[in-house]
Structure 1
Amino acid sequence: MTLPVIVTRAEPGNAATVARARNLGLDVRAVPLFAAHALGWQAPDPGDFDALLLTSAQALRLSGPELERLAALPAYAVGSATAAAAEAAGLTVAMTGSGDAQSLVDAMASSGKTPRILWLCGRERTAFDARGVALVPLPVYAVDPVDPPSDWEALTAAPAILLTHSARGAARIAELVGPDRGHLSLVAISGAAAAAAGEGWATVTVTERPDDAAMVTAAHHLCQKVQK
């Protein structure tokens, strides 16, 4: 027996996760519950800031030509996927955080300086402690929920593994699944995502690193346990 792995993140990340899972031989289903789109924005004077904070690769994919005006600022990225997207966009990555946004801001604040940070973020974003640094959020994209496919109830009625790449995504999964979830396993990209999903799951796995590769690896391990 093998469990289907349900990928719920927005495109284009969904396709990348599905491809990675298929390379490991997993029975993977693409079920995006959100769709991302760009927002209109204008880049501020880069001289007013010391660094960029990047917490999602979507900010790089959807930022548009205004990003070029900020290319001189060093970028601090959460996760390897975001760092790779930043480099592909022509930015210089000064640090790649292996934890969440809070731990990366903690590291920036502990440098002994008080940096002025421009955060290129989504319209909906998770709040965290700026640790006294001047942190200015600038929404450059939005991720809106979309209706689940017609086979959603059938997919989640049987044992399966659901991947959640954000706290907001975890909350939506939990809402759609409902309280009858003891047969479903969850792989969460962070502790915050796991907490947003609530309780009652068969298992909840929080990855050691906040990246897609770690999530797919965790799903693979769960499938191997079921097969034994």
Structure 2
Amino acid sequence: MSRVIVLRPEPAASRTADGARAMGLDVAVHPLFAPQAVAWTPPPPEHFDALLLTSANGVRLAGAGLDHYRALPAYAVGEATAQAMKEAGFAAVTSGSEDGSAIARRIADERRSRVLHLSGTTVAAMETGPLHVTRVAVYSMIALPPAPALKADAVPGSVLLVHSPRAGERVAEQFPEETRAGLHIVAIGAAAARVCGDGWASVTHPARPRDDEMLALARRLCE
């Protein structure tokens, strides 16, 4: 059986690995990054009429500053982020299963305009339309040292799951072109796929940037 290699940071890596194992797939987990809290100053909550988080890492690593915004309408990208917000004490969270641009449209449709986005130091491109978005970084992703076990586990036929353009860049660095011919890439989207470079057995991405759709593509490659 072909192997699926999960490269995203924990704890999301374990969720993806559990989903892959539920499909009967052979899984190895090798995070390329680890989230780390950064110091931040909470802006006044009265300056905003909505709170947005696009990663559960933002919820976990924002610290006590997150408490300032419990009265704001809360929005999240992804069920994992929404669940983390609920566990942090937000009673009602509106979630979207696609990306930041989709949830931004939802916020605008609900006639909110001043949005506080608690994010990482690097953020995926997001079309904000008429919204005025104030982005405050509350965590960063620290690159982990290359792990020899990653290359050992990446046997021919393996499928590498690439959940961000930064991860794609690291994969391209760690796998020289002459080592790629037997390996497949399933990326979260076109941008992440593009930076992985050439020479792979295949490079694909789902129509929507969803973990379950990435796993569906990986399963087909493993059949």
Displaced runs of 4 or more, over 6 A: none
Alpha carbons 2:98, 2:210 under 8 Å: kept: no
Paired residue total: 222
Q: Structure 1 residues 121, 94: closer, same or farther in 2, change over 3 A?
A: same
SS of 1:197's equivalent in the other structure is coil
What is the one-letter code of the residue matched to 1:204? V
Q: Structure 1 residues 199, 106: closer, same or farther in 2, change over 3 A?
A: farther
Alpha carbons 2:113, 2:130 under 8 Å: kept: no
Distance (Å, rounded) in 1 between the aligned partners of 2:136 and 2:185: 31
Distance (Å, rounded) in 1 between the aligned partners of 2:172 and 2:92: 35
Equivalent positions of 1:162-173 (< 5 A) are 162-173=160-171
Q: TM-score, normalised by structure 2?
A: 0.88
Partner of 1:158: 156
Distance (Å, rounded) in 2 between the aligned partners of 1:200 and 1:131: 38
Q: 5+ unaligned residues in a row in structure 1: which ranges?
A: none
Partner of 2:193: 194
Distance (Å, rounded) in 2 between the aligned partners of 1:193 and 1:8: 13
* Residue 115 in structure 1 maps to residue 113 in structure 2: yes
What is the one-letter code of the residue matched to 1:12? P
Percent of aligned pairs with the same amino acid: 41
Partner of 1:185: 184
Offset of residue 94 of structure 1:
4.8
Q: Structure 1 residues 153, 198: closer, same or farther in 2, change over 3 A?
A: same
Partner of 1:78: 77
Q: Structure 1 residues 61, 212: closer, same or farther in 2, change over 3 A?
A: farther
Alpha carbons 2:100, 2:127 under 8 Å: kept: no
Per-residue CA deviation, residues 138-193 of structure 1 (Å, 9 max, x unaligned), is 10111111112223333335221011121211221122112232321112222332
Distance (Å, rounded) in 1 between the aligned partners of 2:173 and 2:63: 33
SS of 2:154's equivalent in the other structure is helix
More off after superposition, 203-212 vs 64-73: 203-212
SS of 2:65's equivalent in the other structure is helix
Q: Structure 1 residues 92, 197: closer, same or farther in 2, change over 3 A?
A: farther
More off after superposition, 207-216 vs 80-89: 207-216
* Residue 149 in structure 1 maps to residue 147 in structure 2: yes
Alpha carbons 2:159, 2:184 under 8 Å: kept: yes
Offset of residue 73 of structure 1:
1.4
* Residue 4 in structure 1 maps to residue 18 in structure 2: no
Equivalent positions of 1:35-46 (< 5 A) are 35-46=34-45
Equivalent positions of 1:120-131 (< 5 A) are 120-131=118-129
Q: TM-score, normalised by structure 1?
A: 0.86
Alpha carbons 1:74, 1:91 under 8 Å: kept: no
Distance (Å, rounded) in 1 between the aligned partners of 2:110 and 2:39: 35
Distance (Å, rounded) in 1 between the aligned partners of 2:131 and 2:218: 37
Distance (Å, rounded) in 1 between the aligned partners of 2:79 and 2:206: 14
